[in-house]
Amino acid sequence: MIIPAFDLINNQIVRLYQGDYLNQKKYNIHLISYLEEYKHKGVKIVHLVDLDGAKNKKNRQIEFFNNILSSTDISMQIGGGIRTKKDINELLKLGVTRVVIGSSIIENKQKIKEWLKIYGSDSIVLALDIRINNKDNKEIYINGWTKKTKYVLEDIIEYFLPSGLKHVLCTDISKDGTLLGPNIQLYKDITNSFQTIEFQASGGVSKLADIIALRKTGVKSVIIGRSLLERKFTIEEALKCWQNES
């Protein structure tokens, strides 16, 4: 599945380079028009990131998301600053299909296990941002990639599997926003190791060949942000590429 992604600061579409809030590019697009167009062309779900909420939970863009969800019925998964049951309830009440949880995965592991059981595995996506070190360990970073944790990707997935974990969004942060191509070997490894997980690949997609290569790794979805915003290829071409490899 192709999942177009939109990152938002102060209700505006932006892209950060390597997660740096000081290195952001704004895009003058009308989000609702894009979402309606994508739905018409066959997109099943879109990915929205509340970068304000991720930075400061008091600045979550709930009113903006409410307006968006009231204006279109395309399915959405939303992340950024999700730290409590109240946050999850708020988004699900608005009509969000899946809630994407990031830093809390590490900071509140027991709570996440409870949330998976309360809301069900289809409503929760765990977003794991990793950097591969020189020993080939997939180290997890949190708090906007500013803090390295003591955990590696495999350990965290193993921890949550008994709680029904199903959706994992895995980003190689060395690739994100760079248009330098995705880490194909990473996705081959993790889909082979965890065959019950529906992985979403994120980071580095710059051309249609990247989509084809990712499809062959076994990931269930590819999240694409900058390439679509900058028209490196069209949504129709991306969808066709994915479907042709199925």
Please enumerate in sequence order all residues whose Cβ is within 8 A of that of 8, keeping only pairs 6 or more positions apart, or say none. Answer: 14, 48, 49, 50, 51, 52, 61, 64, 80
Q: Is 129 a catalytic residue?
A: yes
Q: Is 189 a catalytic residue?
A: no
Number of H helices, E strands in the chain: 11, 12
How many angstroms separate the CA atoms of 154 and 118, rounded?
24
Q: Pick the catalytic residue: 7, 52, 87, 210?
A: 7
Nearest to 82 by CA among 118, 117, 107, 63: 107
Q: What is the CA radius of gyration of the chain?
A: 17
How many angstroms separate the CA atoms of 103 and 2, rounded?
24
Question: Distances in Å between the alpha carbon of 114 and those of 111, 118, 176, 212?
Answer: 5, 6, 30, 36
Q: Pick the catalytic residue: 52, 129, 172, 176?
A: 129
Q: Residues 114, 115, 118, 123: is their CA dihedral positive or negative?
A: negative
How many C-beta atoms surround the C-beta of residue 91 within 10 A?
A: 26
Please list the active-site residues.
7, 129
